[in-house]
A and B are shown apart, each in its own frame.
Chain A
């Protein structure tokens, strides 16, 4: 790409439009066609541009005014730049100014010497001298005095050169004045010469002009010779004639037009009268058709036309019309107050009535009738549902009476009721519907009334009246709702009578419907919020919603509590082994599930805040209620567990409870089998263990889960309820454990003594022992049995159960030993072997207390000589080999971890 063009020289640098300018610079392209653009002072001058060389272009300036750049654009170099600027000015051509071109002077000048702008032909400084230093002005008064009747104005007749010089050049030096004179002289000469040179410069156009004038003269002379000296005579004559002809043509038409006009006027009057006299009929017809707009229009028109008329006929017609209109007003007014009606229709009717100058107050009447209608609908709805409820109750009674014998009478109605929606719920739904349907219209109507949209003057006191109306409706709505579901929140004496009580159904029936109720009311509330009601009115509903939410929450919790209370019926006693906590039934899981469900449901329906609602639990009483209900709920499960542990079901517990010694010795497992086969409910010990396990699981896991999910769902639950229940559960755990231990260790320990002295054994024996005695073996076996029983339910329970049992055994042994009167040497050997074996085998489950009991028992037994002790070692050794299996059973634990008590 070539370098961009640069303009570095202009000749000249200023001039009026059309000035021929030589533009010099660089990179103007190599040939004329390279030049593709030229602007001078922003005006495109490419048309006049003439490319001379890469350094030179000649062009004529455009109409641009003021200083501006000269920009050359070439095909290869693009838009160029400019170092010098051109100044365009518009010259005013005066009558004294020479100009080679035609100037349209008519709009510029009004002929006459004095109207000329002096500056157009007067030079500022005729001497061509700089008058810069001439600061001091010569006082004009002095000048007037010096040269009376003279003037310094060069254009005036009484011009005085002295005045002029004194005025403008009184500080100028003589030399300068001489120079000025020279200049002036030259100027005058130049002007003379200038005329000549001007003619020379424009000789072409001057010659043209002369030629044209000569041609014109010749032509004119020829015409004069041909047509005579007055060429326009004939023309004048023809103009006159044509004028006459035109008149002849159009006079007729004009006359006809006048006539037509007159006729039209007459017809108009007739039409007006006809309009008046026909109007009553027309009004009747239009009323029938419902075209009230037309009626109103006609009425206005007729009033405008004839209202001031005194003619009796017209007055009669008018009164006839008035009568019709009054009838129409009445009709419209009645229509306005007839409910139901849409707000648009009402507004239209109000407009009609206003246009008809009705004597009513249509807007306010409409509002009033609206409000009355809402109240009426409330009442109707109430009565309707009340009646339905009564009918239902009667029917139920009938059913009850006919089935009075049936023993489940108490449970049969709910089954019916569950499938059908309770009447008060239906009532609430309908009431909400009525309010959300009708109230917005009332409110909107009221708003447009008060904002003046209805073009009615608002009467004083209406505002308060309307407010009262609105509040009454809202209050009525809330009270009726309260009476239907939460009557306990109503003021007993006043409101219950007012709104009528509902027979309250069971919690079970109403609970599933409560969230729906809440939803209805909330939807209504939302509609009201959208209407931008005053907060006073909204707060009434907000209060209702809050109460309902609290009630709903507590009902849902109560319901869950009821469910939980019935959980014990669902106990299957089937043990589920899960990885984290072994040996539980699905009862705690079910419990957790139902609690979680309740939490979820309540959160969904009650706890979440909707528009313009407070967080429920900010309310102190709601919080208290929540705590109470949660505690109830959790305690209910505690009750369930307790029931399961300690209560007999269907009276078969007694059998289980009686400890049978032989069973313990014999085959203990078989007893379960038989029981399982009969009625699916396991023996009491088993149930105790299971419940104990469940209890622990609930305490350690389920409650934490529940607590977590309470927090996660945003309940601000205090710790109290959960802590309370935990401590209750701990107590229950202990009670169950005690019961179980009592149940187990009592018979176990009780068998030791009889077995020990079985076959009239005496410690003063002289039979050298060869093995530990059967009672010790029995004791071991019994413990293994307990172990297996506990383990089968829950391995974790082994740790809490077995040490207790071992401790009682050790205690019993100690007691027995201390009761022995006399030991023979073999007896001592026997006793030491027995107790040593038990001590060793039970060591895995020995509490420190048990250990001391063992040691004390051994200490009671008299000591032996060393030779006599060897036999004990032998027995123990033999015993370890023989009872390897049993030892393994009880020692297995030691690998698992240390004993805890």
Chain B
């Protein structure tokens, strides 16, 4: 039953990075399956694949959801090496996670050695406006400094998830 398509569509590897508990997996699952998972379970490394039809061209996007916990920092390099695009997530309710994005950015640039690698800064949990610790301005300034786009999303309400989606797609079309 597993019929392989005649021509394998282009495959692009996107990696979700960010501190623990900022909602990388939630965002990924929302993105993949329109599903929001309430319970928290630290991720080790998950892999998802999605076919996207864009301008009549089929593109496969492989999403690698990595562990935010520092326990797994050592294996990150290996993951980063295979990545072709990066979604750097932080939680707008947690300043620490926003500061960590700097480290991630640097590690990625060190491994990939490419300033223009597709990169997106995502501030998650924007539904929790009342608990906001990182202002929009602050985040978008940093994005501007890096020369990347900044998007605020909510994995819970699916706000701007599709926007992220379309930005990612545009990288590869």
Contact = CB atoms under 8 A, between A and B. Distances in A.
Interface in B95-145: 110-111
A400 to B, nearest CB: 106
Interface in A45-72: 55, 71
A301 B35 CA distance: 93
A639 to B, nearest CB: 93
Contact of A11 (B50, B65, B70): B65
Interface stretch (B38-46, B86-94, B147-155, B156-164): B38-46
Contact of B71 (A11, A71, A85, A190): A190
Q: Which label, helix, strand, loop or mixed, suits the secondary structure of the B interface? A: mixed
Interface string A545-584: 0000000000000000000000000000000000000000
A22 B32 CA distance: 14
B173 interface: no
Interface stretch (A12-20, A246-254, A500-508): A12-20
B43 A12 contact: yes
Interface string A1-31: 0001000111111110000001010000000
A8 B2 contact: no
A302 interface: no
Contacts of A9: 32-33, 46-49
A186 B4 CA distance: 46
Give the residue among A83, A183, A186 with the most B Cβ atoms within 10 A.
A83
Contacts of B4: 81
A183 B45 contact: no
A78 interface: yes
Contact of B46 (A10, A71, A79, A81): A10
Contacts of A81: 1-4
Contacts of A85: 47
Contact of B73 (A10, A22, A183): A183
B37 to A, nearest CB: 10
Contacts of A84: 47-49, 62
Interface in B3-57: 3-4, 25, 29, 32-33, 35, 43-50
A608 B32 CA distance: 89
B77 interface: yes
B33 A186 contact: no
A77 interface: yes
B1 A11 contact: no
B15 to A, nearest CB: 13
Nearest to A124: B74
Given A125-B74, A128-B73, A14 B45 contact: yes
Given A24-B33, A186-B70, A190-B71, A77 B1 contact: yes
Interface residues of A, number: 30
A24 B73 CA distance: 26
Nearest to A197: B71
Nearest to A84: B47
Nearest to A53: B35
A185 to B, nearest CB: 10
B65 A130 contact: no
A517 B32 CA distance: 100
Contact of B50 (A8, A55, A79, A130): A8
A8 B49 contact: yes
A80 interface: yes
A883 B169 CA distance: 130
Given A55-B35, A81-B1, A12 B46 contact: yes
B73 to A, nearest CB: 6
A123 B35 CA distance: 38
A81 B2 CA distance: 5
Most buried by A among B4, B32, B47, B50: B47
B77 A13 contact: no
B61 to A, nearest CB: 10
A523 interface: no
B111 A4 contact: no
Contacts of A77: 1
B102 to A, nearest CB: 12
A79 B3 CA distance: 10
A11 B43 contact: yes
Given A15-B44, A24-B33, A78 B65 contact: no
A751 to B, nearest CB: 115
A186 B20 CA distance: 15
Contacts of B74: 123, 125, 128, 183
A199 interface: no
Contacts of B3: 81
Nearest to A85: B47
A296 interface: no
A8 B48 CA distance: 5
A681 interface: no
A80 B2 contact: yes
A82 interface: yes
Interface string A752-775: 000000000000000000000000
Nearest to B32: A9
23 contacts: A8-B32, A8-B50, A9-B46, A9-B47, A10-B48, A11-B25, A11-B65, A13-B45, A14-B44, A14-B45, A55-B33, A77-B1, A81-B1, A83-B60, A84-B48, A84-B49, A125-B74, A130-B77, A130-B110, A183-B70, A186-B70, A190-B71, A194-B71
Interface of A: 4, 8-15, 22, 24, 55, 71, 77-85, 123, 125, 128, 130, 183, 186, 190, 194
Q: Which 4 A-B pairs have the closest CB atoms?
A: A81-B2, A11-B46, A9-B48, A83-B49
Given A9-B32, A11-B25, 19 more contacts: A8-B49, A9-B49, A10-B46, A10-B48, A11-B44, A12-B43, A12-B44, A13-B45, A15-B44, A22-B46, A24-B29, A24-B48, A78-B1, A84-B47, A128-B74, A130-B111, A183-B73, A190-B70, A194-B71
